[in-house]
A and B are shown apart, each in its own frame.
Chain A
Amino acid sequence: MSETKPTGKVTGINGNMVSVVFSQRVIQNEVAYVLTGDNERLKSELIRVRGHEADLQVFENTSGVKVGDPVEFSGELLSVELGPGLLTQVYDGLQNPLPELAKQAGYFLKRGLYVYPLDRERKWEFTPSAEVGQILSAGHSLGSVPEGIFKHQIMLPFAWNGEWKLTWIAEAGEYNIDKVVAKASQGGQEREVRMVQTWPVKIPISAYLEKLLPAEPLVTQTRLIDTFFPVAKGGTFCTPGPFGAGKTVLQHSLSQRSEVDIVIVAACGERAGEVVEILREFPHLDDPRTGRKLIDRTIIICNTSSMPVAAREASIYTSVTLAEYYRQMGLHVLLLADSTSRWAQALREVSGRLEEIPGEEAFPAYLESLVAGFYERAGLVRLPDGSQGSITICGAVSPAGGNFEEPVTQSTLKVVGSFLALSRDRANARRYPAIHPLESWSKYKSIVPEEQLRKARKMLREGDEVNQMMKVVGEEGTPISDFVVYLKSEFIDAVYLQQNTFDEVDSSCDAERQRLVFGKLLTVLEKNFSFNDKDEARSYFQRLRQNFIDWNYAPWQSDEFIKCEKRIDQALQKAQG
C-alpha cells in the first residue's frame, strides 16, 4: 500500500452503509476499499461527508466487518474501462466479467474478488487514421481496430480538455489495449493514448457537437410498437406494468429484433434466470442483419436481484456509459434496462440508511431528477466528424401493486417520449404483447402514414366504447352497425396488435411487411359490410381472422404467404358491401 493513499477507520455499520473517520482529503463519489480481518477488500463508494466522517456504500455484503477496520481511499471516481473487447461481454454492475469470476471462484460469487473488465493480452489490429501534427480534441478518432463487424474507433480520451497536437502515432499493427498508440501535447505537456481509457460512470460523456431531435424510427419489428407507439433512434421509452405482464419478454424480443447496431442489456435487480437465457442463447442465435451471432453486437450488464444492492445502483450508470462510448463511434445503440424500479429501490435503500428525509413511498426526494438525468443520457448526437450516433433507452418499470400512480412510473412518464403501458387484463387474457392500445402513447413518428393510423386508432376507441355499452345494454340491445365496429376493433387486436414472440416468423415483422399488412387491415376496417345478423357477422370475422393469422405465420413472400393473401382478398370480395 503506498503511503500517500489516504486511509480511514470504520466507525459504524448499518447494512451496506459503513461510516468512516478520515483525516486527509476525500472526494465525493470516490472509490474506497474496506479491508476486513480476512484480508478482503470490499469495494465501496463515498456518498456523503460530514465533518471528519464519511459514509460509504459498500458494493458487497458487510457481514464480518468490524468497527475499527481500516479503509483505503482510491482518489478515483467510480469508473469503467472503455476499449475494444467490450462487445460480447457479460459484466456485473461494476464491470467485472462474470465468466472470469466464475473461473476463479466457482459456483458462487466471492466478495472482494475483482477482475479487469478487458482482456490485457488480446491483440487488436490497429489502423491509424490521424496524422502527426493534427490538432485533436476529446473524442476525435486517431485510428481504429476491427471489433466484430464494427470499426471500433480509438479516440482521444474524453477526459482531455481543450486542443491537443498529435506528436506521435503508432503504425498499423497488432497491439494489446495497454500499448501506447499515440502521444499528444498541449502547452508543453505530453500525454500518452492507449486503446483503453477510463471514464467515471456518473458523468455523461459529451464529446459531441450537438444533440439532435430524434426523427428516424427505430424499427423493433413489433407491430404494436412500430405502427402504433413508435420509438425513434435516440429516443426514450418505458414499459411499466405489473409483474408477469410481459416487460422482460418484450425487452428480450427488442434485444433480438431491433434494427440497431449495438444492444446493451442491463439486467438490473431482476431474475438471474432471465439473463441466463440471453447469455446462453445469444451466442447461437443468428443476427439476420449482419450474418453473425447476436452476441457479437451485445453487451450484458447483469446485477440481478440477489447481488449486492449498491452495485445494482451502479449498474445502470455502467450500462449507459458503455452505450455512450459506442455512440461516440457513430453507432446506434439500444439500451434496455430491466428494471429501473429496482434501481430506484436501491436508491431508496441507500437514502433510508443515510436517514434522509423521504419523499413519497420512502423514495428519496431527488428520485425525479436522477430518473430524468438517466434518460437525458439518451439522444441522437452529431459527432465531431459530422456523423451521427444515438442511444435509445427503454426502461422497464415495475410499479408496486401494478399501480402507475407511484413515484418511479410518474417520474419516468415526465421524461420519456413513448409510454408502452403493459396491462394486467391483457396479459391475463393472453393478448400479447400486453401493451394497452388505449392507454399507451408516443411522441415519435410511425412507420405508417399518420392519417391511416388515426383511422385504426379511432376504430379501437369506438370498438371499446361499444364493448362498454354492450356490458350495460347487452348484445341484443346493440345495433348491428355498432356491433360490427366492435368486431372490427377486436379484429385489429387479434391480427395486428397481438403478435407471437415465440413464433419464428410472426415474431419478426419488419417495416415493409407491417405496411403491407396494415394496408390490408385498413381495407377491412373501411369496408361497409352488411350482415343479416350478429352471428353471421361474428363468424365472418372469425374466419377472416383465421386467414390473417395464417398470413402472419407465413414467411415473407413465400408460396404460403401469397396463398393466404389471396384467400383474404377473396373473402373480402365475397362479403356483401
Chain B
Amino acid sequence: MRKIYHRIIQISGNVITIEADNVANGELAEVRSERGISLAQVIRLQGKRVSLQVFAGSRGIATDSEVRFLGRPMRLSGSEALLGRIFTGNGSPRDNGAALSDNMIDIGGPSVNPANRIIPRNMIRTGLPMIDVFNTLVESQKLPIFSVAGEPYNELLARIAMQAEVDIIVLGGMGLKYDDYLFFRNTLDAHGALSRAVMFVHTASDPIVECLLVPDLALAAAEYFATEHNKRVLVLLSDMTNFCDSLKEIAITMEQIPSNRGYPGDLYSQLAARYEKAVDFENAGSITILAVTTMPGDDVTHPVPDNTGYITEGQFYLVNGRIEPFGSLSRLKQQVNDSTRADHRSVMDTMIRLYAEFKETLEKQSMGFRMSEWDRKLLKYGALFETRMMDLSVNIPLEEALDLGWKTLAECFEPEDTGVNTQTLQEFWPKK
C-alpha cells in the first residue's frame, strides 16, 4: 500500500507542494478534497519537496487534503474497446461506458525513430480546390487551421475528416464549447463514423489545466491503432491554443522565466513533442494530425501560431469563411502533386502568382488609379478565382478543379501572359 500524505505545504496556482519520499518524476497522484478527487502529476522534485500540478485545479484544496501517489505515470488502455467511446480530458469515461483497464500504456511516450519513418506518399482528397489543388493534404501530415473565433474552423475540420479516407478518427477537444462537442459527435454519428472514432473531450466548462493531457491521450490512442493494428488514423485537435494557455499557466505558477508574452521558453518543444507524432510507417499504419489554432488578436506572430507554424507541415489560413491562398501552405504537397496530373504544379503556381498580382491591382484600384489593360485582365481573373476556387461551398474532385483552373486562365489571359513554360501550354491550354 502506498503512503498517503495529508500535509500540503504550498498551494500556488494549480500547483501544490508536499513533502514526500520515494516519488518519481512524472508520477501521478490523486488529490482528494471536499470538491472530489482530482488527478495530479509530479512536475518538480527538490529534496523532499514534491510539486504537483492538479488537473482539476487547486480550488477547494485544503492544507490537509489527502494526496495519494499511484506509483505510475498517466496511462491509457491500448485496446479496441476504445472505439466508439468518449472520454474526458483526464481519460475517464464521459459516456456511460465502463472505465477501461486492459493493456495500459504510458501516454506521452518517446518519439518515433526517424529511421523508421517513410516519405509520405498518399494524397488525402478533400474536394476543396484550395486544399486539393493548392495546398494538398497528405497522409501523415501535421497541419493546423489558423483562424479566429467565429470562423467555421470546427466545421472545416469535421468536413475534411468525413471526406478523408481514413480508418480511425481520434478527436481531442480542448476547451471545446459544448455545442461544438455535440456538433462533432452528431457529425460522426450522421456519417456512421462513431464506431471507428475515439473522443477525448475537455470542454470549456472543465478546469483549464485538465486539457493538458488531451493531446497525449489522443495521440497515444492513435499510436496504438497505427502500430498495433496498422490503421490509418486521423487525429483532430481543437483548439491547441487552449493547450498552450494551460502550459503558460503552469509555467507562470512555477515561476519560469517567460520567453515571449508569458509563454514558457519550451513552448516549441512541448508542441513539437505532440505534433511530431504524425507519422507514416513502412510496415504499419499512419497518423495524420489536423488541428485548430485560434490566433489571439488575429495575429499570426503571436507565440502560439508562430511556434506552431515552425513545427507543422504548413497551415490552412481560414479567414472570412475562406481558405486564404496567402499564408496557407502544405509543405508536403510536392511529395504527391507530381503524380496527380502533369499540369498540377503549373496550375498551382501560376494561379497563385496571378492572384497575388490581382491583389496588387486591387490595391491600385482602391487608390483610384486608372486600370490598364493588364489590370482589367487581373480583375476579371481575381473575381473568378475567388468564386471558383476559394469558396468553401465548392466540392469537386482535383481533376475537375485543374480543368476549371485552365478554363479560368484562358478566359482571362493570353497564354504568354501566364509565364507557364511553352511545353505545358501546348499540352494543356484550352483550345478555342
Name the CB-closest residue of A to B371.
Answer: A475
**Inside 8 A of A242's CB, which chain B residues have their CB?**
309
Contact present for A272 and B419 (CB under 8 Å) = no
From B22, B44, B352, A430 is in contact (CB under 8 Å) with: B352
**Inside 8 A of B421's CB, which chain A residues have their CB?**
546, 549-550, 553
Contact present for A14 and B257 (CB under 8 Å) = no
Total A residues in contact with B, Cβ cutoff 8 Å: 82
Report the bound CA distance from A543 to B420 in whole Å: 11
User: CB within 8 Å of A: which of B254-299?
Assistant: 256-260, 265-266, 268-269, 272-273, 276-277, 279, 281, 284
Contact present for B364 and A474 (CB under 8 Å) = yes
Verify if B329 is at the interface (C-beta below 8 Å from A). yes
From B26, B46, B120, B417, A63 is in contact (CB under 8 Å) with: B26
Verify if B150 is at the interface (C-beta below 8 Å from A). no
Contact present for A362 and B258 (CB under 8 Å) = yes
**Inside 8 A of A65's CB, which chain B residues have their CB?**
24-25
Verify if A398 is at the interface (C-beta below 8 Å from B). yes
Contact present for A244 and B268 (CB under 8 Å) = no
Stretch of A118-126, A203-211, A300-308, A387-395 at the chain-chain interface: A300-308
Verify if B36 is at the interface (C-beta below 8 Å from A). no
Verify if B334 is at the interface (C-beta below 8 Å from A). yes
Given A107-B281, A400-B303, does the pair A62, B113 have CB atoms closer than 8 Å?
Answer: no
Verify if B3 is at the interface (C-beta below 8 Å from A). no
Given A109-B112, A430-B356, does the pair A244, B314 have CB atoms closer than 8 Å?
Answer: yes
Verify if B2 is at the interface (C-beta below 8 Å from A). no
Report the bound CA distance from A101 to B112 in whole Å: 11
Contact present for B25 and A105 (CB under 8 Å) = no
A267-299: CB near B (< 8 Å → 1, else 0) gives 001011101110111000000000000000000
Contact present for B47 and A401 (CB under 8 Å) = no
Stretch of A222-230, A368-376, A534-542 at the chain-chain interface: A534-542
Contact present for A430 and B115 (CB under 8 Å) = no
Verify if B117 is at the interface (C-beta below 8 Å from A). yes
**Inside 8 A of A430's CB, which chain B residues have their CB?**
349, 352-353, 356
Contact present for B349 and A362 (CB under 8 Å) = no
Given A304-B276, A475-B372, does the pair A280, B118 have CB atoms closer than 8 Å?
Answer: yes
From B21, B116, B367, A474 is in contact (CB under 8 Å) with: B367
Contact present for B257 and A362 (CB under 8 Å) = yes
User: CB within 8 Å of B: which of A320-372?
Assistant: 342, 345, 348-349, 352, 358, 361-363
Verify if B432 is at the interface (C-beta below 8 Å from A). no
User: CB within 8 Å of B: which of A446-505?
Assistant: 470-471, 474-477, 494, 502
Report the bound CA distance from A64 to B118 in whole Å: 31
**Inside 8 A of B22's CB, which chain A residues have their CB?**
66-68
Name the CB-closest residue of B to A355.
Answer: B257
Verify if B363 is at the interface (C-beta below 8 Å from A). yes
Verify if B210 is at the interface (C-beta below 8 Å from A). no
User: Which of B25, B279, B353, B363 has the most chain A CB atoms closer than 10 A to its own CB?
Assistant: B25
**Inside 8 A of A63's CB, which chain B residues have their CB?**
24-27, 73
Verify if B45 is at the interface (C-beta below 8 Å from A). yes
Contact present for A107 and B112 (CB under 8 Å) = yes
Report the bound CA distance from A429 to B21 in whole Å: 60
**Inside 8 A of B227's CB, which chain A residues have their CB?**
107
Contact present for A62 and B372 (CB under 8 Å) = no
From B48, B120, B301, B303, A402 is in contact (CB under 8 Å) with: B301
Contact present for B265 and A349 (CB under 8 Å) = yes
Contact present for A542 and B419 (CB under 8 Å) = yes
Contact present for B259 and A348 (CB under 8 Å) = yes
Given A63-B73, A65-B25, does the pair A349, B370 have CB atoms closer than 8 Å?
Answer: no
Contact present for A342 and B268 (CB under 8 Å) = yes
Given A276-B117, A400-B260, A542-B416, does the pair A475, B356 have CB atoms closer than 8 Å?
Answer: no
Contact present for B422 and A550 (CB under 8 Å) = yes
From B268, B284, B301, B327, A401 is in contact (CB under 8 Å) with: B301
Contact present for B259 and A307 (CB under 8 Å) = no
A110-124: CB near B (< 8 Å → 1, else 0) gives 110000000000000
Name the CB-closest residue of B to A100.
Answer: B115
**Inside 8 A of A37's CB, which chain B residues have their CB?**
24
Report the bound CA distance from A99 to B367 in whole Å: 60
**Inside 8 A of B256's CB, which chain A residues have their CB?**
352
Contact present for A352 and B265 (CB under 8 Å) = yes
**Inside 8 A of A106's CB, which chain B residues have their CB?**
113, 116
Report the bound CA distance from A421 to B329 in whole Å: 20
Given A12-B47, A475-B369, A475-B372, does the pair A428, B265 have CB atoms closer than 8 Å?
Answer: no
Given A12-B47, A108-B110, A272-B112, does the pair A349, B269 have CB atoms closer than 8 Å?
Answer: yes
Contact present for B257 and A61 (CB under 8 Å) = no
Contact present for A102 and B266 (CB under 8 Å) = no
- Closest CB of chain A to B287's CB: distance in Å? 12
From B276, B352, B353, B370, A271 is in contact (CB under 8 Å) with: B276
User: CB within 8 Å of B: which of A36-66?
Assistant: 37, 61-66
User: Which of A68, A243, A279, A358 has the most chain B CB atoms closer than 10 A to its own CB?
Assistant: A243
Verify if B374 is at the interface (C-beta below 8 Å from A). yes
B341-365: CB near A (< 8 Å → 1, else 0) gives 0000100010011001000000110
Total B residues in contact with A, Cβ cutoff 8 Å: 80
Name the CB-closest residue of A to B48.
Answer: A67
- Closest CB of chain A to B72's CB: distance in Å? 9
Verify if B156 is at the interface (C-beta below 8 Å from A). no
A404-446: CB near B (< 8 Å → 1, else 0) gives 0000000000000000000000001110000000000000000
Verify if A250 is at the interface (C-beta below 8 Å from B). no
**Inside 8 A of A109's CB, which chain B residues have their CB?**
110-113
- Closest CB of chain B to A409's CB: distance in Å? 14
Report the bound CA distance from A550 to B363 in whole Å: 32
- Closest CB of chain A to B372's CB: distance in Å? 6
Name the CB-closest residue of B to A358.
Answer: B257
Contact present for A67 and B367 (CB under 8 Å) = no
Verify if B70 is at the interface (C-beta below 8 Å from A). no
**Inside 8 A of B47's CB, which chain A residues have their CB?**
11-12, 67
User: Which of A13, A64, A99 has the most chain B CB atoms closer than 10 A to its own CB?
Assistant: A13
Contact present for B306 and A401 (CB under 8 Å) = yes
**Inside 8 A of B21's CB, which chain A residues have their CB?**
67
Contact present for B306 and A428 (CB under 8 Å) = no
**Inside 8 A of A101's CB, which chain B residues have their CB?**
113, 115
Name the CB-closest residue of B to A101.
Answer: B113
User: CB within 8 Å of A: which of B113-138?
Assistant: 113-120
User: CB within 8 Å of A: which of B365-388?
Assistant: 367-370, 372-375
Verify if A136 is at the interface (C-beta below 8 Å from B). no
Report the bound CA distance from A19 to B110 in whole Å: 23
Verify if A90 is at the interface (C-beta below 8 Å from B). yes
B26-48: CB near A (< 8 Å → 1, else 0) gives 11000000000000000011111
Contact present for B356 and A502 (CB under 8 Å) = no
Name the CB-closest residue of B to A346.
Answer: B269
Name the CB-closest residue of A to B50.
Answer: A67
Interface residues of B, Cβ cutoff 8 Å to A: 21-27, 44-48, 73, 109-120, 140, 227, 256-260, 265-266, 268-269, 272-273, 276-277, 279, 281, 284, 301-303, 306, 309-311, 313-315, 326-327, 329, 331-332, 334, 338, 345, 349, 352-353, 356, 363-364, 367-370, 372-375, 416-417, 419, 421-422
Sampled A-B contacts (26; CB under 8 Å): A61-B110, A64-B26, A66-B25, A98-B114, A98-B115, A101-B113, A105-B113, A106-B116, A109-B112, A110-B110, A269-B272, A280-B118, A280-B119, A304-B114, A306-B273, A307-B111, A345-B265, A349-B265, A352-B256, A363-B259, A429-B356, A430-B349, A471-B367, A539-B417, A542-B417, A543-B416
5 closest A-B pairs by beta carbon, nearest first, are: A63-B26, A474-B369, A401-B301, A305-B272, A306-B276
Give 17 new A-B contacts, CB below 8 A, not counting A13-B45, A14-B46, A545-B419: A11-B47, A12-B46, A14-B45, A37-B24, A65-B24, A244-B331, A272-B117, A305-B268, A306-B277, A358-B257, A361-B260, A470-B364, A476-B369, A494-B419, A539-B416, A546-B416, A546-B422
